[in-house]
Amino acid sequence: MYFSLLFMILSTTLFAGKTMIPAHPFPTHIHYKNTISPSLYSQKEIDRYTLAFYNQWKKSFLIKERDLYRIATDKNDTSRTVSEGQGYGMLITAYFAGADPDAQKIFDGLFRFAKAHPSHICHTLMTWQVPEKKGESDSAFDGDADIAYALLVADKQWGSSGKINYKKEAFQILDAILRYTFGKESNLPLLGDWVDQNGKKYNQYTTRTSDFMIGHFRTFSRIHKDKHWAKIINATQIALQQIQELPENKSALVSDFIYYDKKSRHFKPTARHFLETEDDSYYYNACRVPWRVGTDALLNNDTTSQRITQKMLYWVWLNSGKKPQNIKAGYHLDGKPIGNYPTTAFIAPFGVAAKSNPHMQEFLDSLYDYIKTRHENYYEDSINLLCQLLITNNYWDPANY
């Protein structure tokens, strides 16, 4: 009896310990086909820079509240959190497991915070901001998509037999995303669960280009196995290409928000103040497109995603004089700059695009050199760090494991 009990205790302890050991600890050094890497530093040096950036990011933006964690949207005023930040935080901590012994604890706390603040429309999705404002407790597409993807990474990293069944939770969110935040006919991401499919101003044909997370969608297609993901990939790629092909688009960049013009049967930029500010231009939403679409080009060698990102990359390469510090914070589609300053939110995503082009080694080196230790604020640093994971070969697709 004693030995049987001892065996059970030891087995339980070992099993519990095993679930806590990450299967893919940082650094992972993933090989992406037909790509290049920063050449001015060794892989070991690059890993050190990336880990140091992560540690500073945690120090600046990770907030602990009892047994929960959240990501603050400002290093000077840490009172506010958005679902986008929770998604970024969950992705980042899952990929730094191993290097950070607290990664799983932080990840679980971030997810529990998201679950504790549901949208008032679809309770499986997270409200887009905390503290919540009256009448604005609904979802934003990208936060939920990142949270679902991060849960799939967590399932491959730690397994789903612990306190949180990561895969089950991911599937529940993906089911809700498909039901509440995609156009039934357009197959495009809605701005959130609050959008009426056939609304007058906001509907299934008005969409945010930075929500075209094509790398995510392809992973969802392989793991979630719903046939709609293939339609979504096709629809988002077509929309981006149509914006790039507009005669008035001299930059090959895409606007923050777009809509489908039924008269011309073509996608076009929305009006300037459609939802935010420079909505008809390449601004603080669309700056993520080279990263989001570039991820698909890197991980999946998709030729359409590659064409989309390379058009954007070549234009900015020439327009900046091949110098990252000359990349401006926003452009009108005719190529005229909006902001007269550089920021990593606009620069780092082009590092992802450059990585899949062997002819861009010098530009990739200068891009990486610019971003590797440059800290700004929540939005810029989160984008920068996620792009650095890709640029440094430390971002992996859970569908491949």
Query: Would you call 387 helix, strand, or coil by DSSP?
Result: helix
- Catalytic one of 84, 256, 280, 296: 84
Query: 214, 70, 69, 219: which is closest to 149 by C-alpha?
Result: 219
d(CA 324, CA 7): 60
Residues 6+ apart with CB under 8 A from 167: 151, 152, 155, 160
- Catalytic one of 138, 142, 169, 380: 142
Cβ–Cβ < 8 Å for 281, 333: yes
Residue 39 structure tokens = 């050449």
Strand partners, 130: 81
Cβ–Cβ < 8 Å for 72, 61: yes
Query: How much of the chain is helix, strand and coil, in % rounded to 5?
Result: 50, 10, 40
Residue 251 structure tokens = 């930059």
Residue 84 known to be catalytic = yes
Strand partners, 379: none
Residues with catalytic annotation?
84, 142
